[in-house]
Structure 1
Amino acid sequence: MSLPNPRRGAGALLLALLLTACAGPAGEPAVAGTPGTSSPAYASILAAFDEADSAASAGGNVEALKGQETSPSLQFSVAAVNRAKITGRSQPAFRHTDPVFAAPHEDLPCFLATASLRLTGEEMSPVDVSHFLKGPDGAWRLSHNVQVSADMAPAARSIAGATAGSGTALLPESQRSALVAELFARTIAAGTGELVAPSRVLDQQLAAGWSIYHQQMSAAGITVARTLTGSEWSACAAPAGGGVLTFLTLYATDRLTADRKGGRVTLPVESPDVTATGHREPVSGEALTVSRLEVFLLLVPPTGAATVLGLLDTATSVEPT
């Protein structure tokens, strides 16, 4: 589960959006029924999640996280543990308060929750949205989690009492494909579009971070090319705020190559991608390949532009090639 990180920063040659994540525990048995009758059971799952997640995250126990969380949240959790270990900081304990839920139809093994997040030692309580999946073993695991800004919180909380449906069924395939293409283009500052509204976290942080990263690499004699390698919509989505609230995951690969023939590419140990992937030494090679995840929480109306309520970005591997 994603946690605030007020100490975000840039490495010597790399600026990227840093957002932390942690994990959730195995929970209660599957819950069926209407949102009104199932909320107490989902609240119990969320409370158990808080207790187990705080212990696993604060302790940096990756093996425990693997038993409590699934992709893509697990990758963000591992990145957060890596950063915490390398910087010598532990992640804070937390608990959710005032949760609301979008419970599924009986045949969907997933649900959505929006709640305030109380962090030990912090005065602020950000609002976050979580998506849980029931695994083949019958346990509930966190699969997606994104924090939203105060102005986006009312839209996120409007899932209260809604019945969650299939994310792919609630949005037509043509609309989903178009959103994937535009969001990826926006992440690399490749123009604007009409399908996604202007967004501070998307345009002024993530895309701006890419632009600075690209400029810094170019100044160091390194060419960076980013390729979209896949996309995935969350199993559950919910009616909210006059549209559909859903998670989208983009999978991308960065290819870093030296402009000079025979040159080498080196990312310093303080770069965010190197830190997130757990390397304690610079990573160097004739070329480097960086695999990364980007998760978006979207509010998609029937007509007009979708809104990015929040997002996460992290590298999952940095390898010489």
Structure 2
Amino acid sequence: MKISIKSTLKWWHSLEHGTCIHKVFASNAAGISHMKLHHPVMVKEVLDSLYLANGGVMLDMTFGAGGHSKEILQRFETCKLVALDRDPHANDLAKDLADKYRGRVLPLLGRFSDLDALLKENGIRAINGALIDCGCSSMQMDSPSRGFGLATDGPLDMRMDGTRCSRTITAADIVNHSSCQDLSVIFEKYGEEKHARKIARTITHYRRTCGPILTTKQLADVIETSFDKRSKRTDACGRRTHSATKCFMALRIFVNDELNELYQGFKTIEKYMTTGGRIVTITFHSLEDRIVKDLLFHNSSTTIQSETHKKWIALKKKVIIPQFEEINANARSRSAKLRAATRI
């Protein structure tokens, strides 16, 4: 099987021309432990950025384990919550929350690109608030069977949708069947990896000499051999990071078509959001944040600027980042950026 990334990389050009190419990928993944659930990031800042009048409809685009949703339901006691997630396990948790908050929670299973149809099917004509917490949740990252993380060994999967979709592609498919050039482009464009070519050559050489790469630890070890043992990578907080971190992120984004999905989600929110309604976004890397800024605040020269002209106004001029105490308690929050805007 030969995997080409040409069609997927059209998202770069599609954003420049104001269109979006939707590509469907699937996921098989089960077995997430209830013991390790998502720690919601910047809860206070999210709540302070939202405003929901009596009976307002709030859309949580990335329900996950429901950390933000629970806080929203408690803060805004009369609001109704639409809980969207593409992960079947997260959807089960949303159903549990719906049982607790009778008549206030509507669980929806699907991707951002499915949202328009799902809202129509359920008679939702308008929303008054929306939250997008980008990336994968801690419960996905901490489950070895999902193949997202570096901390534990597991199958090289990285799909968010579970077995509900018939069309499937895994990170292992990409790693083992893509050309050296394609791997290099994926790592560079989606992971912003400076050593993309070198890593791609290492992977393809390993495939030829040792066979397929099938587990997360195996891939991490192969990537690590691309670097000098004395070299150390650190994050923005000065903490040491694994040399494979950016490549894992790139594969996850590619497998789940996350950037196109983010674009589609924004366009649907824009369609349903009432005047005065607020959107809150939390991003964790520059590619997500760039799309958010383009769509909300038109900081680029692309035609996204003209498409969204004067549709949103920022609540605050500067991006909001986690407090030091939160970063200390939850290291995964360290790269989070919160932006909020009002529909006008």
TM-score normalised to the size of structure 2? Answer: 0.23
TM-score normalised to the size of structure 1? Answer: 0.24
The answer to which structure, 1 or 2, has the higher relative contact order (CA under 8 A, 6+ apart) is: 2
Kindly indicate which of the two structures has a greater share of residues assigned to strand.
1
